[in-house]
Structure 1
């Protein structure tokens, strides 16, 4: 009788531990492991065993927590005193989740729902790696001397935004390169904003759309070359081509020079019905960012605006993709 009373308080109750085979996995891959259950001092009825994939997003000095998924494992069983059970765990990550970054973190929270007793929990941090194609984009940027910023991977209404800064050949010319990445069947489509320095402290925000095929991504030199060309075009179009030491200069008769600053056409035109922001927003809402995450975070942002926090600051520190056209 005393043991039953203590078990209701969680003393001598059943325990659960999720042992993952590995703590990291790519989007679209399957994470596997085992549940290790241990009975307490008395027999206990288990209502259910489930795992919650918990998403924490830091933005505007706050942490926003959401359930990205609830994974049912087992229901309605009894565990005897001292009994040990091992149950398999397997979960395939959906492709629409944001990837892990310093401001985007994931945890598996295991919940053992015990009837007439204190429930048992276990937490395991996991790291969601980018799809191989997106990682190849990151590697190509690294080959050009770009490094990812600490704030890269922030959640915006348009998707997950990545930001890189130059450390070698573009240093002093390009302030940073920001982009959204949409993984398609043909390759990775980048919606880029390249902040170009020119004159005496001036800066232009140049937009480019670039599709790099999977075949091109497999050749790191080819992918790096395509990215370099897109960045050089943006620099020239911003009127800062004279700063590209060692590179051919544009002439007044070249296609690059003939377009007004800020309205140079994308490197590859979108095939999704338009070249404006509407096409990009629609793509990312259905692509890299789950609709659940976008809608709920937007709802929280609206609440924060009512409390005095600016929505642009909430999403990306006031450094968003505004003031330019995808034409």
Structure 2
């Protein structure tokens, strides 16, 4: 994965930068490695710093409806303090640690529609240029993969995935957004629930699994959302199919926990420490106004309409496949829609 950009802020004759990520998907909480290749321009330049930013395309819900924008969720300084001579070629290797909550973009090579990127900033003699975006591919942690495989074996089907701006009250969430993986039920549960949304919040100690069910209403009762949450270790050895089946049954049995408006705050920068937003004392999630199960971020096409059954994991079937991810970043070079709410400062690599 490569991009090349003439530093426009430096004018004609400025240096060029070519960032190359190590091939293959990275993992949340693991090292992202690669090299920044620089080539000097028509004069000597003092390079103040070379930085990498991780950015994501995120959805936000507000009173006027929904919108999408770019959020920077991590920033790393990987070098600087040197002179790049005219015409000089220099390579800067880097190794940075991804946040544990970095969203998963693919399962077994199948894209989920989540759009992440790496943006390189080169600061030279007081001028800065952020360059173009290089798509970032992230695979699931072992326990995340095991849970999704179990859902597939239980007959659930992948519908879509997106990133939602907001925080889950009462959890250890660190990023200003969270990932939702929407799945549809097998025939045995279709009369109880329209869809289930799975959110993983990983940390060094394990993974919080938040499940939300959009339940069907009966003849005399309205449908509603219910939430439940579980915590698992990174190396837990369990009968995941039985475990996840128990989670689903517990989720669907939570009829008494219903509250019309859950305590999930999409706009607040932090959850209330005294009132975690749980509906009637249960795990906090959000009342998202039933935004549906569309493609989330970006352009998607229905695989089923073309007669394609795109296998994801263990029986899960992708209902949508994503067009070229790079196209989704066009026009987002300087537009940070919801502000920079990742790391507060530079992390030295």
**SS in structure 1 opposite 2:70?**
strand
Q: 1:140 to 1:156 in 2, by over 3 A?
A: farther
Pick the aligned partner of 1:227 from 223, 241, 244.
244
**SS in structure 2 opposite 1:16?**
strand
User: Corresponding residue for 2:34?
Assistant: 33
Matched, 1:194 2:194: no
Q: 1:118 to 1:97 in 2, by over 3 A?
A: closer
Separation of aligned partners in 1, 2:46 and 2:119: 20
Native 8 Å contact 1:183 1:189 kept in 2: yes
List runs of 5+ in structure 1 lacking aligned partners: 1-6, 239-260, 265-276, 282-293, 300-314, 321-327
Native 8 Å contact 1:54 1:67 kept in 2: yes
Q: 1:23 to 1:12 in 2, by over 3 A?
A: farther
Native 8 Å contact 1:146 1:167 kept in 2: yes
* Superposition TM-score, scaled by structure 1 size: 0.61
Q: Greater relative contact order: 1 or 2 (C-alpha under 8 angstroms, separation 6 or more)?
A: 2
Q: Which has the larger radius of gyration?
A: 1
* Superposition TM-score, scaled by structure 2 size: 0.58
Shift of 1:316: 6.2
Matched, 1:132 2:126: no
User: Corresponding residue for 2:73?
Assistant: 68
Shift of 1:210: 4.1
**SS in structure 1 opposite 2:131?**
strand
| Aligned positions, number | 248
Report the RMSD for the aligned CA atoms in angstroms.
3.8
List runs of 5+ in structure 2 lacking aligned partners: 1-7, 107-111, 270-285, 292-349
**SS in structure 2 opposite 1:136?**
helix
Shift of 1:67: 2.5
Q: Decide which moves more: 206-215 or 151-160.
A: 206-215
Shift of 1:107: 1.7
User: Corresponding residue for 2:256?
Assistant: 262
Structure with the larger helix share: 1
CA deviations on 1:234-291 (whole Å, 9 max, x unpaired) are: 55x47xxxxxxxxxxxxxxxxxxxxxx4259xxxxxxxxxxxx99xx8xxxxxxxxxx
CA deviations on 1:123-145 (whole Å, 9 max, x unpaired) are: 21112333221221111111111
Matched, 1:318 2:323: no
Separation of aligned partners in 2, 1:58 and 1:198: 27
